[in-house]
A and B are shown apart, each in its own frame.
Chain A
Amino acid sequence: MNNIVLLVILLLPLVASLISFLIGRVNERNRDIFNIIATGAELILITLFYKKVSVQAVDLFVPDIMGTGLYLKLDMFRYMFVWITAFIWFLTTIYSTQYILKYKHRNRYYSFFLLTLGSTIGIFISENLLNLFTFFEIMSFTSYFLVIHDEDKYSHDAGKTYIEMAIAGGLILLMGLFLLYDYTGALNISEISIVMVSLGNIKYLISALIIIGFGVKASIVPLHVWLPKAHPAAPAPASAVLSGILIKTGIFGILITVSIMMNGDIILSSIMFVLGFINMLMGGFLALFQRNIKRILAYSSMSQAGYILLGIGLIGLLKEYKEIAIYGVMMHIFNHAIFKVLLFLGVGIIYMILHEASINVVRGFGRHKVILKIVFLIGALSVMGIPGFNGFISKTILHEALSEAHHIYNNIWFTIAEIAFTIGSSFTVAYLLKIFVAVFIDDNEKYRGQYKEHIKLRAVFPMVILSCIIIYIGIKPYTIMSIMVKTVEAFGIEGHFETDFFSLTNYKPVMISVLLGLLIYYTVIKGKLLRITNGKKEYINPSLNWISLENDVYIPVVRTIFVISSKIFHFVDNLIINIIECIISGIKMLNDIEFENGETKTIKNSNRLNYKKFFLYNKAHKIKKNKTTNVEDSNLGNIVGLIRRNMNSIIYSVFIFAMILTIFLIVLVL
């Protein structure tokens, strides 16, 4: 029974996608209701499933499909991912009914939205890596249609980058999986961890390939290129799930690779730790300069992913004390999904009304929109990690894990890491302040509280729910943490962790980072980026002129590789073709070789020339040799004659010879 439910959880969105499409062709209103019901049913189903899963992990094996059989497993570790996915999808679906109204291709949007839900859930509940890969690829393709939904030049450009990187990443991941299967013979995640230990250095290659594959989705630094392009391009609910959930699929993959399959290997963990810091600082730093609100949020997602990667690194580094890092990672995954979706939905409302997300244009828009202002503020404060909001909880745990690592290893690098952590947090404060001040505090005579009628309840409702959750978790973190106790078991240890969140020691780093953030805001953003021309405030973005990883590195490199390899393959191709043509023409020459009638037995002179030409390059001869046998006007007798003449030729006689030999051998063997 339980495993049937598991299958239903997987299939419900996929089936609903089809039904939604069919309904949508008839009646859009019914389709919207159906979508809300479908995602709601999914959420309810998963929520009700909690009792079963919390007692015992549910798994399901369906043999003979998807190559190796479909092996699904839902334990508490996965449950958290699945639940947050279903929850976010439910809210964004409600939001979409308002947001997407003015767009074209609504039907397509909903179908792919639900398909993406199905495949994302598939990723989270796959126990078999090959299943996971399949769902991962499905998700990449279905979400592509969400990215290019606007179908304008910018979104196609972004979609191109997105799909190219997704495919490249997918192929690298597949390579990793091939190697993995080759060396371990196992594809089930829990089995691999046992085999992996005994593997030599090849396991680093394997895990590196897998991490690169997942890293594209998780926007690890050199692979983040698609993210700041795709997020602004997609419709707001889609960017919300891209940022809130789809990044987490990559994180999920990395988490199972580093912490479960590799048992928190110390080298890999250190690399992830460093990458996490790079991501955090880089994302935060670049976010400071952006003017498009959605792009700021996109870079923010990258920065927050850095926090999670850093946590993953800490899981390995802390070894037996790792439960604190696990809590931090899981909490931050959960919290980031909540607050980032909230922020994207908030920005989405602005974009929905003005069709513009540039901070220079929408400046002062939210000054008189009270509800929007409040929910956005809640989201922003949460990201900043202000006490009382959920971001504070996870950041505090991560910070505490970092301190513990500092305590254990006690070297200069961890001191630097702590400083970097504070700087990263202060970046967060600065860029969010930039948005908030510009959009919600600045005065702009264009926007005096009009457009309020555009903000419908169904758009605000999800945001209010999310805000409530943020505050609830922020105040009572232990409710959710008690749920997470079982999550830790997936990493092979038991135990839980307690800390007094609301103490002065925990407030101190927050206060430092907020102060530092304010400093950065006033010096860098107000001081350098804000220009006042003709009494109009305008932000500038100097980072536009900086080196672009995509345009200046990836594209030239790929293009060069492509050109070089195409030259090489072209050469090889020509070589093979020429060799084959030489052989063919050699046989042909042998077949219809022309001899002079008379005393001398030499080959005709002209023919000899041709002979040479054949073996050099024989295109000219090909045309010449194109015998004009008019089959059309020949009757049956002629055809028989033709066949007989052909049968008489040397080539055919050799063919017949070979055939007879084959027949002989076959008959004898049978």
Chain B
Amino acid sequence: MIARNFPLLTIMILLICSFIMPIVKEAKTFKKLSIISMGASVVLNISTLIYIKYDGSFFYRVGHWDAPWGIELHIGMIEIIIGILFTLVASLVIWYSFYSVDTEIPKEKIRFYYLLINILIASLLGIVYSNDLFNSFVFIEVSTLASCGIVVIKDKKENIKATLKYLILSILGSGLFLMGIAFIYSITGNLNMTFIHNELAEIYIKYQNTILISLALFTVGLGVKSAMFPLHIWLPDAHSNAPSTSSALLSALVLKAFVFMLIKILLRVFSLEIVIQYRVLDLLLILGSIGMIFGSVLAIMQKNIKRVIAYSSVAQMGYIFYGIGLGNSLGLTISIFHIISHALTKSTLFLAVGSMMEQTGKNLSDLKGIGKEMPVTLGIFTIGAFSMVGIPILPGFISKWYFALATIDASKLIYLGVILLSSLLNAVYYFPIIINGYFGEENLKGKVFMSKNKPVKELLPVLILTVGIILVGIFNKGIINAINKSLI
């Protein structure tokens, strides 16, 4: 029974630790505080997972207030898997950051950096767990500000510019989300998702237009935050200018939390039966497909390695929207699975690239011959890239495979071409990096083997992530089944 309190506890631990950080003097102490709180969250989440595995999903009443008045958390299999994913990735990224943070972030800001990460993860968990629309909105706002904070922390001119753009667009998105809540609230009189859902089932015929408008507001509002294709404009700047640990968090977790929120709204607030009557899903499908292709095309055009990966995120988010847009349960399941696989992969890639960039430069041409100098790091990058392109066993392949199956299920065969084309395009920009890194006599000339390689303890977190990628690839069946079961 005590495991029921763990989800709230994780959020509280993270928040409380973040509030303690400013009063801690020693730099080492707050770093420890950060990793310990995050690690504790991972442990708590895993124990909740075990609890759920045996006792099933549950609603947690915050402060023992019943639903319409009090805030509820809904903890199911999917939520807890994503919770573990978030905390795990965050702890590994924090671990990694201990070795890189000094070079990337001004010294006096480091304290705030860890504070912000804690707040960010706490609010993201809040978004994932909460069963209350307005509560989610509050967490969304907190996470927006926190994620802007971890971008701007570098304190460079281009960071500030990128952050301003990110901030303005995010706030517009939050505004739309709030308006969507207002519309829904005006017709149902509830903020609790379960209650709204029950109310809507009765009245949705009367309020077709209101539902339609609020659907559009939710979709666009969350779309801009989770980089739905034409709204991705803030993403390349923000992700490429941020410190690489921040990029890893942003790309792997922040985007995913919002897209998961969208799934929750479509599924749990409106229910698939209602949503399917409008053309929201078609729009998501089309924008997702466009994003899959144009994200890659734009990535090909980039010269900065981090921008390449950032645009790759746009393409990968396209997959997730595409999966939602298919409108069948397999599509949704695989979208959530892709959230997991992409979170692991993208954080790996960003961290690997981050450590490569530390030694060389930020342009693609600087990375030539890096395979000789940093073979392990590039090896990690290669595994991540292979997953992105869709090489079997790796989770990227699994998601693409199931996306294809879901497409066939939804009898939208034309879109299979989009998946294939997108995979091909992924290969076009990932493989040259690897090939130029490992091979080519000109590239390798004058490079000393293992000269820039990092010590093992610094590589360990990234290695763990890589292992995680492979494990997710291998145990995909179990994860997908668990998600699918929880969805229904």
Contact = CB atoms under 8 A, between A and B. Distances in A.
B151 interface: no
A648 B236 CA distance: 9
A593 B163 CA distance: 12
A654 B224 CA distance: 10
B169 A654 contact: yes
Contacts of A68: none
Interface string A645-670: 00111101110110111001101110
Given A665-B216, A667-B279, A650 B172 contact: no
A606 to B, nearest CB: 15
11 contacts: A590-B164, A593-B161, A595-B161, A653-B169, A653-B234, A654-B168, A656-B230, A660-B230, A660-B231, A668-B280, A669-B209
A508 interface: no
Interface in A635-650: 647-650
A180 B29 CA distance: 84
Most buried by A among B160, B165, B168: B165
B155 interface: yes
A669 to B, nearest CB: 7
B233 interface: yes
A275 B7 CA distance: 92
A552 interface: no
A647 to B, nearest CB: 7
B218 to A, nearest CB: 10
B318 to A, nearest CB: 14
Contacts of B160: 593, 595, 601
Given A653-B234, A654-B169, 5 more contacts: A649-B165, A650-B164, A653-B169, A660-B220, A668-B279
A656 B231 CA distance: 7
Nearest to A669: B212
B132 interface: no
A653 B165 contact: yes
Contacts of A654: 168-169, 172
Interface string A271-284: 00000000000000
A545 interface: no
Interface in B451-477: none
A660 to B, nearest CB: 5
Nearest to A647: B233
B283 interface: yes
B216 A650 contact: no
Contacts of A649: 165
Contact of B176 (A647, A661, A669): A661
A648 B168 contact: no
A43 to B, nearest CB: 66
Most buried by B among A647, A652, A656: A656
Given A595-B157, A656-B233, A668 B212 contact: yes
A647 B156 CA distance: 22
Interface residues of A, number: 25
Contacts of A597: 156-157
A604 to B, nearest CB: 11
A601 B165 contact: no
A664 B219 contact: yes
B65 interface: no
Contact of A653 (B156, B217, B233): B233
B216 A668 contact: yes
A64 interface: no
A618 to B, nearest CB: 21
A657 B220 CA distance: 8
A578 to B, nearest CB: 24
B213 interface: yes
Contacts, number: 67
A596 interface: yes
B8 to A, nearest CB: 34
Interface in B393-437: none
A248 B168 CA distance: 69
B183 to A, nearest CB: 12
Question: Considering the complex of A and B, which 3 residue pairs feature the smallest CB-CB distances, nearest first?
Answer: A653-B233, A595-B157, A664-B216
Interface in B180-220: 209, 212-213, 215-217, 219-220
B149 interface: no
Interface of B: 106, 155-157, 160-161, 164-165, 168-169, 172, 176, 209, 212-213, 215-217, 219-220, 223-224, 230-231, 233-234, 237, 278-280, 283
A666 to B, nearest CB: 9
A661 B280 CA distance: 12
B278 A601 contact: no
A574 B277 CA distance: 51
Contacts of B237: 648
Contacts of B176: 661
A286 to B, nearest CB: 70
Contacts of A656: 230-231, 233
A637 to B, nearest CB: 11
A668 B220 contact: no
Contacts of A594: 157
A648 B161 CA distance: 11
B216 to A, nearest CB: 4
Most buried by B among A593, A649, A657, A661: A657
Most buried by A among B160, B161, B176, B219: B161
Nearest to A670: B279
A360 to B, nearest CB: 83
A231 to B, nearest CB: 66
A653 B50 CA distance: 44
Contact of A661 (B164, B215, B220): B220
A643 to B, nearest CB: 13
Given A648-B233, A653-B233, A657-B231, A664 B220 contact: yes
Nearest to B229: A660
A287 B454 CA distance: 114
Contacts of B279: 667-668
Interface in A366-403: none
A601 B163 CA distance: 13
A669 B211 CA distance: 11
Nearest to A603: B160
A654 B172 CA distance: 9
A182 to B, nearest CB: 33
B84 to A, nearest CB: 33
A601 B219 CA distance: 35
B280 A650 contact: no
B283 A667 contact: yes
Contact of B169 (A601, A648, A657, A659): A657
Contacts of A665: 213, 216
Nearest to B108: A599
B155 A601 contact: yes
Contacts of B209: 669
Given A597-B156, A648-B233, A652-B233, A661 B161 contact: no
Contacts of A661: 176, 216-217, 220
Nearest to B298: A644
B76 to A, nearest CB: 29
A664 B165 contact: no
A179 B169 CA distance: 49
A650 B160 CA distance: 12
Contacts of A647: 233
A648 B311 CA distance: 13
A654 B233 CA distance: 9
Interface string A595-633: 111010100000000000000000000000000000000
